[in-house]
Amino acid sequence: MTSTEENNDRIGNTSTIETFRMCKKCNQTTTAENICEKCVRQFKQHENDDNTNLLIEKWELCHEKASKYYLHGDFKRSLSENKKALKFAKQLKDQMRIADCYNNIGVIKSMKNKYVKALKYYNRALNIQIVLNGEDHLCVGEIFNNIGVVYADLGIHDEAEQYFNKAYRISVKQRGMSHPKTKQILENVEHLRHTYF
């Protein structure tokens, strides 16, 4: 039996989401994409269902697809999947998932040089994260860093530096100075200072 046949054998006893993840882990992209499309068709039959488990599976599917498209540079499809994920997160009334979607949409808008829209989504994510986790949470720091990048790209260097410094402070506190993410944020600050001040 080939590894594909063995994998397909295991697939018969798992949910579609688990199958998608299994195929991704085996690097069977075509299979994963076919299962993904099968999943989407299956979920469309239950579009208006508000069963919590089904909504979570829908969110996870869209979130996985959005990540895959983003990593392959297909920002248009990634944005579409993130917007679907946002819809399901809102139906779940799950603020963490909503914030995650807002941040991801902000990243895509920023990549497409739509900075005003990126800031809008980042600020929505930031407001939710601060309410849920407080101002010193790593998620808040990540969003501060993302906002800093947007302001740097817009040429608003004072604002960029303020947000990078906030992100750096949180990262040092939560991760320590030697963590790669902390070092990356510090590089953002130093690059900004070296280039513009």
Residue 131 in this model has a pLDDT that exceeds 90: yes
The helix-helix angle for 3-11 and 16-25 (nearest 10°) equals 160
More confident site: 153 or 38: 153
pLDDT (0 to 100) of residue 30:
47
> How sure is the predictor about 193, in pLDDT bands with cuts at 50, 70 and 90?
confident
- CA 54/CA 44 separation, integer angstroms: 11
- CA 67/CA 101 separation, integer angstroms: 11
Q: Which residue carries 């990243």 as its tokens?
A: 107
Half-sphere exposure of 149 (CA within 13 A, CB side): 19
Residue type, 129: Q
State the average pLDDT over residues 107-119. 97
Q: What is the pLDDT of residues 10-46, one digit of tens each?
A: 333 344 444 444 444 444 444 445 555 555 555 555 5
More confident site: 19 or 116: 116
What's the token pair of residue 86? 């946002």
Of the candidates 80, 81, 23, 91, the residue with the CA atom closest to the CA atom of residue 54: 91
State the average pLDDT over residues 175-182. 94
Residue 141 in this model has a pLDDT that exceeds 90: yes
Of the candidates 184, 112, 187, the residue with the CA atom closest to the CA atom of residue 150: 112
Of the candidates 126, 124, 146, 142, the residue with the CA atom closest to the CA atom of residue 134: 126
Range with top average pLDDT, 121-125, 182-186, 187-191? 121-125
Q: Which residue carries 């979570």 as its tokens?
A: 56
Residue 3 in this model has a pLDDT that exceeds 80: no
Question: ∠13-18-22 over CA atoms, to 5°?
Answer: 95
Q: What is the pLDDT of residues 71-112, one digit of tens each?
A: 999 999 999 999 999 999 999 999 999 999 999 999 999 999
Of the candidates 163, 191, 167, 190, the residue with the CA atom closest to the CA atom of residue 179: 167
More confident site: 56 or 191: 56
pTM of the model: 0.74
Mean pLDDT of the chain: 82
State the average pLDDT over residues 156-172. 95
